[in-house]
């Protein structure tokens, strides 16, 4: 559901981090804010409740300009995990161009992961989005903790879905950029089919992803490293 103004040469994309309460959605955005190149990155906004959980959304905007002059703004949101804020989840999901589902790797949270994913599927349908069509990646966060779901079990259960699955520890900072990078790649492919970003605007997938996921120490590196951990 891209916002595109051909006359103004402006495009706004929206990615949403979804998942159960306390799975690490906000921590993912905080880590992205810390790890990525500052150039072209906006401010991170966090709105919290009294119990220090995100009640509305976090927004981390990125900006880039295609060779044609097309100005692209990418907004990254999280949604509240608590059931009582389901109406807010729907509002944030509207017009999403991609979703990262952040699951909690702790064994005690397995049922909450499935309930939250079912809620995602339901809410996508409510706001007019097809879970089979929208770019979607899965991240199993908190791999640094004890008593977690074995990676083999995760692959056995989620592998048949065909969705990319990543292992991560947002607290320690690994797996975060890989998740975001893959979602950006899928989003580009989805957008390019409709707006022909490469043909009409000279923006190929590698450049698009690199500009969004470049670390400060990669500022002079024009290649995208293949470090996806599945």
Q: Looking at the domain assignment, is residue 224 inside a domain?
A: no
Q: What angle do CA 148, 151, 154 make, to 5 degrees?
A: 95
Q: What angle do CA 12, 14, 20 make, to 5 degrees?
A: 170
Cβ–Cβ under 8 Å, residues 47 and 94: no
**Cβ-based neighbour number of residue 136 at 10 Å:** 22
Which pLDDT score, from 0 to 100, does residue 218 have? 64
Q: Looking at the domain assignment, is residue 228 inside a domain?
A: no
Q: Looking at the domain assignment, is residue 226 inside a domain?
A: no
The total domain count for the chain is: 1
Which pLDDT score, from 0 to 100, does residue 53 have? 54
Which pLDDT score, from 0 to 100, does residue 158 have? 94
Q: Looking at the domain assignment, is residue 125 inside a domain?
A: yes
**Residue the block writes with tokens 């592998």:** 159
Q: Looking at the domain assignment, is residue 223 inside a domain?
A: no
**Rama region for 162: left / alpha / beta (φ>0; ψ in -120 to 50; rest):** left
The CATH number assigned to the domain holding 11 equals 3.40.50.300
Which residues 6+ apart lie within 8 Å of 189 measured at CB? Answer: 135, 205
Q: Could you list the residue range(s) of the whole structural domain that residue 74 is in?
A: 3-218
Predicted model pTM? 0.88
Cβ–Cβ under 8 Å, residues 141 and 151: no
Which pLDDT score, from 0 to 100, does residue 219 have? 53
Q: Which residues of the chain have pLDDT under 70?
A: 1, 47-58, 81, 218-230
Q: Looking at the domain assignment, is residue 227 inside a domain?
A: no
Which pLDDT score, from 0 to 100, does residue 3 have? 86
Which pLDDT score, from 0 to 100, does residue 226 have? 33
Which pLDDT score, from 0 to 100, does residue 1 have? 63
Question: What are the pLDDT digits (tens) for 126-175?
Answer: 999 999 999 999 999 999 999 999 999 999 999 999 999 999 999 999 99
Q: Looking at the domain assignment, is residue 157 inside a domain?
A: yes
Which pLDDT score, from 0 to 100, does residue 55 have? 46
Q: Looking at the domain assignment, is residue 183 inside a domain?
A: yes
């Amino acid at each position: 559901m891209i916002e595109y103004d051909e006359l103004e040469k402006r495009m706004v994309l929206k990615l949403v981090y979804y998942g159960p309460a306390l799975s690490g959605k906000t921590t993912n955005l905080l880590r992205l804010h810390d790890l990525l190149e500052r150039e072209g990155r906006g401010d991170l906004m966090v709105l919290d409740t009294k119990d220090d959980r995100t009640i509305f959304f976090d927004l981390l905007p990125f900006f880039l300009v295609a060779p044609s002059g097309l100005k692209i703004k990418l907004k990254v949101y999280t949604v509240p995990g608590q059931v009582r804020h389901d109406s807010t989840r729907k509002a944030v999901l509207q017009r999403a161009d991609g979703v990262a589902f952040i699951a909690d790797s702790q064994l005690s949270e397995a049922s909450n992961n499935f309930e939250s994913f079912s809620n995602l599927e339901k809410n996508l349908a409510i706001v007019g989005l097809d879970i089979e069509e929208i770019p979607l990646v899965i991240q199993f966060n908190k791999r640094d903790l004890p008593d977690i779901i074995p990676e083999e079990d995760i692959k056995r259960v989620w592998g048949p879905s065909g969705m990319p699955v990543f292992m991560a520890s947002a607290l320690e900072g690994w797996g975060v950029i890989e998740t975001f990078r893959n979602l950006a790649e899928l989003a580009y492919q989805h957008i390019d089919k409709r707006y022909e970003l490469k043909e009409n605007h000279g923006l190929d997938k590698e450049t698009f992803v690199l500009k969004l996921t470049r670390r400060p120490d990669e500022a002079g590196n024009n290649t995208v490293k293949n470090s996806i951990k599945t």
